[in-house]
Amino acid sequence: KNGRQMALPAIPNELLADIFLRLSTSEDLIRASAACFSFRRLVADRAFLRRFRKLHPPPLLGFFDYRGFHPAEPPHPYAPAASAVADDDLNFGFLPGSSLDWTMREVRDGRVLLDRPGRHEPLFKETVVCDPLHQQYLLLPPIPGDVAASVAVQLLIERGGFADCFLVPSGDKEEPDATEETSFRVIWLVVLENKPVALVFSSCTGQWRAITPLIWSLPGLQLSTWKFWFVSRHYAHGCFYWISGASTGFQVRLKNCSCLTSGGWSSPWLITHPVPDIWAMMWPSRRQAKAGL
């Protein structure tokens, strides 16, 4: 009545965050953040970015196999972005030495784990973890000498064993900390007839650390019957499964998996037991109370 214009109340940051989380693409989020300083400050917050990335995973540009990188093709929605990534950028030419020396072992969470025979110790390979899209890599330090020596002696005695090196899956926490976004962990596992040896490398510390205590029970497992060239590793519901061409496989359960994915080291366990070797493996999902294939 008095002609004065009433000011609209400010939109709470919590409501703004919910609105921005509903934007369909990261490009739209960038445009919104350019509108004003308060929007830009909210979008730049690490907690908000973690929530946005969880709802909007990075675009799928393609996949790797033993032959190299295969970009997404039309009619895939990210085919244009995939075509912008030149094959030369993803051939691991940025790694030390010749790219032909490296063998790709695993791809997980946008990182690639590769190895090559060691110069002086062919039994223990050089290992590197890299981000091929940004051409960044970290050469992992050698396995500690005392552990390497004990494993080498035991392998000579038993004349056989199984070894594997693999990336630890990212945690599934609702609000992972900032270091978890850029850090990674690698497990080095050697299975002998009488006991396993397991180490974890953390990019935060730059060191290998033994996984202790180990609970080990594999009744009737005979590694001498394994066809190691047919061994395949699978991951489901916090458990790793190794299946060979023989009649049995085995499971390794990271019972305290949060210890390995959140940076803590409070008594992680490895619990192992045989599983049948069948072409179609069924693993029950306790969290969702249903089976997974």
Please report which confidence band the pLDDT of residue 220 belongs to, taking 50, 70 and 90 as the band edges: low
For residue 114, what pLDDT is reported? 94
- Of the candidate ranges 68-77, 146-155, 220-229, 252-261, the one whose mean pLDDT is the lowest: 252-261
For residue 111, what pLDDT is reported? 92
The Cα 125–Cα 160 span in angstroms is: 17
Please report which confidence band the pLDDT of residue 42 belongs to, taking 50, 70 and 90 as the band edges: very high
- Segment 67-80 shows an average pLDDT of 87
Q: Is the pLDDT of residue 200 over 80?
A: yes
Where would I find the H helices in the chain?
Answer: 13-21, 26-33, 37-43, 46-55, 79-83, 145-158, 178-182, 257-261
For residue 287, what pLDDT is reported? 52
Sequence spans of domains, the chain:
13-55
For residue 168, what pLDDT is reported? 87
What does the pLDDT look like over 239-273, one tens digit per residue? 777 766 554 555 555 544 433 433 333 334 444 55
